[in-house]
Amino acid sequence: MTEIGESEAATDVPVAFQDPGYRAAVVDLLGAIAYGEISAFERLAEDAKLAPTLADKLALGKMASIQFNHVEPLIARIAALGSEPMVAMEPFVEPFDAFHTKTAPSSWLEGLIKAFVGDGLAADFYREVAAFLDADTRDLIITSLADAGHAGFVVDRVRQAIVDDPRVGGALALWGRRLMGEALSQAQRVAAERDSLAALLAGGVDRPGLDLVALGRMFNRLTENHTHRMAELGLAS
């Protein structure tokens, strides 16, 4: 790891980064998001094989490409903070891969819902955490979490599938609930296992944080957003 010089710190890096704990937390968070984008790219590319039409394959391919393009600015920021991007992402490989193994879709529609619901929940969680960061890092994270074209495309395909065969709705609703449970468990596990992220959420002398009540409210907001997404799909949450 290289040290950031005083002149660079004064011009490019916010004062908050003079706190080593804060810098470690930001590097951890960026590493998690970056690997999340890589795994989302891989998953979407794989799910494209299940697409029923060439147009659908192309749409998923475009979504995967957008996810991949988010990675470079994140790893550039990690490097600018004096850390090795591959090392920063490494702690998140196993938990992310385990999550995707547990929630591997068995059909085209399940894959679409996972992209919409699962990625949406992850983005909500990271936006919540980003509220505690310096403006530059917060803006970078918000940009990296921009919709990859999931919303309109997924809602249209899932709603049409339910119109074509109303029986699929119940099974897809169950799938959505399972994704919600697994994703929340994943978010809690990552936050708990990484001391720097736990400290970031807890705040500090000069930074706001989340007590147990506020943390509960945050997870309530995540659940409410999930309910809204399921409703958009025409499914019960």
Residue 109 CA: distances (Å) to CA of 52, 78, 127, 227: 10, 35, 27, 18
Whole-angstrom distance, CA of residue 177 vs CA of residue 226:
9
DSSP helix, strand, coil percent of the chain (3-state; round to 5): 80, 0, 20
* pLDDT on residue 131: 83
Residue 59 lies in a domain: yes
Residue 44 lies in a domain: yes
Which residues, given as ranges, of the chain have pLDDT below 50?
1-11, 205
* pLDDT on residue 122: 86
* pLDDT on residue 10: 38
Residue 1 lies in a domain: no
Q: Which domain holds residue 86?
A: 16-232
Report the CATH number that the domain containing residue 138 is assigned in CATH: 1.20.1260.10
* pLDDT on residue 148: 65
The total number of structural domains that make up the chain: 1
Residue 197 lies in a domain: yes
